[in-house]
Amino acid sequence: MAIYTYATATRINLITARLADVWREDTPRKIKLHSRRPLKIGKLSKLMLLHVWHIRATFAETSSDGSIKFGEPAFGGDERSMNYIGADGGWPELKEALYRLNPVDGAKEERLFPPQR
């Protein structure tokens, strides 16, 4: 099984993972995401707290055209949300990798979102 980026379809190795709080502000015209709770919001805006996994990774292979090198930081070394990666085994494989990297935040997620039976 492999974890890869959607943009380049290149395998990656996860380095760090954390469960971050993201504030979503729904306005009549658009959706804004904030890393901290906004101090002011519009009258018609709605605010929602989301818990989103953020990761840092390196490339696990060199691309055929040589534009991506093995061990090079993915996403320019920046931290990105889980929306940018996928896995052959889907969410269960990603979840297992994230919990292995950060068991404390994995336990926090289990408390926030207990498994449905």
Residue-wise pLDDT for 36-71, tens only, equals: 999 988 889 999 999 999 999 999 999 888 888 999
**Are the CB atoms for 1 and 89 separated by under 8 Å?**
yes
Give the model confidence (pLDDT) of 6-39 as tens digits: 888 889 999 999 999 999 999 999 999 898 999 9
Find the mean pLDDT for residues 90-115: 87
pTM: 0.80
Task: Indicate whether 93 belongs to any domain.
Answer: yes
Task: Indicate whether 34 belongs to any domain.
Answer: no
Task: Indicate whether 46 belongs to any domain.
Answer: no
Is 109 a residue whose pLDDT tops 90?
Answer: no
Task: Indicate whether 36 belongs to any domain.
Answer: no
Helical H segments across 1-117, by residue range: 91-101, 103-112
Task: Indicate whether 42 belongs to any domain.
Answer: no
Task: Indicate whether 101 belongs to any domain.
Answer: yes
Task: Indicate whether 73 belongs to any domain.
Answer: yes
Task: Indicate whether 43 belongs to any domain.
Answer: no
| Number of domains the chain contains | 1
| CA pair distance 86, 88, nearest whole angstrom | 7
Structural domain range at position 81: 3-19+55-112
